[in-house]
Structure 1
């Protein structure tokens, strides 16, 4: 249902029902250019004041035309408008929508209405010295492909303002808010700066990535140089775990001297490195790496062919390794105070240890 008509044309000027006298003496006409019939101002004591067509059927396009005219009049009077932000989907680097320009208010030196621009006629032309901004007011008819092409060919930035929600009725102040202050109901049909902004963004992004790659390349070269120097001196390079702890080789060697000798314990006594990890899980093979050599502690259940004595020895070995590991895991801060600490290679990811 179309709301009651509260605006009309009086001497070719848009007027509100409150601005005119009651009855035919209002001397008002329908704002729809395809109708332009005489209106009567109904300002009784029961119903809301409104205009009605006199001696003709109510015009379907009257309310939309009044809304369209009022919107243009408001912009021309205010000479300013909030323009929407401009976004761009970056599929090359970020796979995300990038903000190219933020919402902002622009103020014009002058505003023209319905001025022919080449082969099309925008609703509003805002003039900023040598620059212009076209505005299309959309209520039920929006910019189609043909007009979009003409706008693009003109090279003039253009926004479309969607006022379709106002067809249910409105107060003038709410229309002013939507036209002048809000950008939620506006979109760019064409922006003359868009390609330039996109190209600048892509160039900047490419340069940043190149600089980032160069930075990390330099960091990696520095780390490799530290590793090379450490190896030449016979130092150990120990990786820390997720909790910035290391498996201290000095503590491992000292702790292993307290246990009965076997192939693994003997390697640890010699100072061969063990990272403190027992791989595998119950039911499958359990094993460790000493240096680069793999040592099985328990075979898998299906391959379990140990004698009772062998199984007992393996359980003892497992317990020994667990106790050694619990003692040897130390924080980086503790490691820093050790006489064998040399330096970090990459913050606290790797430590150079002088213990041999």
Structure 2
């Protein structure tokens, strides 16, 4: 009955068709773009053919709008199989499927008319415009994700790689920092004035005039140190 109603009425309401495509960036954030392929529209047909064989298939209805064919399948107990969808898409033809699975033998003709003309009961199963729309959306998304990933990469590098530290400044030798340079030596050498005088006056003197002390035992803050040979207190500021 549904096929006959469509043939008699000569029109139906085609639903809108919106294509959406998504991609994720480096941060696993999903970005979506969409494109309207078809708007909901009342389609009037100037010719309708019922169950006419077309290549390998026999559509329920072939409706012509301005001599352009539209395949219409009526789903009552069975919906269009994936194989049939692939054949229709391979032919490059637009096609819709009207879901009348809720109709029964008690459904009146007027009720059936309302179901047939309801956009919510009709869906697109093939539309050649989708092919180019997919390419367009993919191109838009690819460029969008490329720019986003570039920004993410730059931000990550800025966080992970610290700015190089400036080279250390050279320290010039001045009286104020001379003691700092001396602290780099492990040992300090001292000359004992008392031992020096004994050596000059006593030819039998066998002691050492100069002696060494580790820097840790003779820090530069020390004012004097005891000579290990004669126990004379050597004043460091005189050395």
Residue 198 (1) aligns with residue 104 (2): no
User: Are residue 95 (structure 1) and residue 32 (structure 2) matched?
Assistant: yes
Paired residue total:
141
Per the alignment, residue 150 of structure 1 pairs with 87
Superposed, 1:140-219 pairs within 5 Å as 140-167=77-104, 169-180=106-117, 182-203=118-139
Gaps of 5+ in 2: 24-29, 149-239
Summarize the alignment of residues 1-356 of structure 1 with structure 2, pairs less than 5 Å apart.
70-92=1-23, 94-95=31-32, 99-167=36-104, 169-180=106-117, 182-203=118-139
CA distance in 2, matches of 1:128, 1:154: 18
Deviation for aligned residue 1:179: 1.1
Distance 1:94 1:143, change over 3 A: same
* Equivalent pair of 2:52/2:58 in contact (CA under 8 Å): yes
Q: 1:122 to 1:144 in 2, by over 3 A?
A: same
| Contact 1:139–1:164 (Cα < 8 Å) also in 2 | yes
* Displacement after TM superposition at 1:149 (Å): 2.0
> So what's the TM-score if we normalise by structure 1?
0.36
| Cα distance in 1 for residues equivalent to 2:20 and 2:125 | 16
Q: What is the TM-score of this pair, normalised by structure 2? A: 0.52
User: Are the aligned partners of 2:48 and 2:64 in contact in 1 as well (CA < 8 Å)?
Assistant: yes
Query: Contact between 1:160 and 1:188, CA under 8 Å: does it hold in 2?
Result: yes
Q: How far apart in 1 are the matches of 2:72 and 2:108?
A: 22
Q: Distance in 2 between matches of 1:108 and 1:87?
A: 23
Higher Rg of the two aligned structures: 2
- Superposed displacement of residue 142, structure 1: 1.1
Residues 79-115 of structure 1: CA deviation (Å, up to 9, x unaligned) = 2111122132321373376643322221111111111
For 1:143-182, what per-residue CA distance to the aligned partner results, in whole angstroms no more than 9, with x for missing partners? 11221222122211111111010126312112111212x1
Q: Report deviation, 1:128.
A: 2.2
User: More relative contact order in 1 or in 2 (CA 8 Å, sep 6+)?
Assistant: 2
After superposition, the CA RMSD in angstroms is 2.6
In the alignment, the residues of structure 2 paired with residue 158 and residue 126 of structure 1 have an alpha-carbon distance, to the nearest angstrom, of: 10
Is there any run of 5+ residues in structure 1 with no aligned partner, and where? Answer: 1-69, 214-356
**Judging changes above 3 Å, is the alpha-carbon distance between structure 1 residues 206 and 106 closer, same or farther for their aligned structure 2 residues?**
farther
Checking the alignment, whether the CA contact within 8 Å between 1:86 and 1:100 is kept in structure 2 is yes
CA shift digits 1:251-283 (9 cap, x unpaired): xxxxxxxxxxxxxxxxxxxxxxxxxxxxxxxxx
Distance 1:128 1:203, change over 3 A: same
Aligned-partner SS, 1:151 = helix
| Distance of 1:82 and 1:190 partners within structure 2 | 16
Check conservation: 1:100, 1:198, Cα contact below 8 A.
no
Residues of 2 paired with 1:129 and 1:160: CA distance? Answer: 20
Alpha-carbon distance between aligned partners in 1 of 2:81 and 2:48, rounded to the nearest angstrom: 24
